[in-house]
């Protein structure tokens, strides 16, 4: 049986909508409140690999921390961006939903259906 994990921010409407879609399918995901979690670099790298994106793609560019830390600087290495996201988890795009070795960002929330469409409830 697949385990579904959602990195969730209850203050975010997209995150709440994504969680609601998952629950309406009868799935009880593991909910991780990522703003309260301290990621290790390897954990965040693993999520990025599962998403099939780059660390820069995971950044929320509208956040004040993005501007204050000059994260638009293209000379920054991936590890620099990962360190910034660990220090300021608000910078991490949300919500992230993981099933096995695949992951999606729930924007729009309906995108989660691609990930959970073959999920078997047992």
- Per the annotation, the verdict on 12 as an active-site residue is yes
Contact between 91 and 84 under an 8 Å Cβ cutoff? The reply is yes
Catalytic-labelled residue, pool 2, 5, 12, 86: 12
Q: How many CB atoms lie within 10 A of CB 38?
A: 9
Closest among 52, 1, 57 to 30, alpha carbons compared: 1
> Which residues are known catalytic residues?
12
């Amino acid at each position: 049986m697949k385990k579904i994990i959602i990195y969730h921010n209850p203050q975010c409407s997209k995150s709440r909508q994504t969680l609601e879609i998952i629950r309406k399918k009868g799935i009880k995901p593991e909910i991780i409140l990522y703003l309260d979690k301290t990621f290790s670099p390897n954990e965040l790298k693993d999520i990025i690999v599962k998403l099939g994106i780059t660390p820069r793609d995971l950044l929320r560019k509208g956040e004040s921390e993005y501007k204050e830390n000059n994260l638009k600087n293209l000379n920054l290495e991936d590890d620099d961006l990962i360190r910034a996201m660990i220090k300021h988890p608000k910078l991490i795009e949300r919500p992230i939903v993981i099933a096995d070795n695949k992951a999606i960002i729930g924007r729009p929330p309906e995108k989660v259906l691609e990930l959970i469409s073959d999920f078997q409830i047992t």
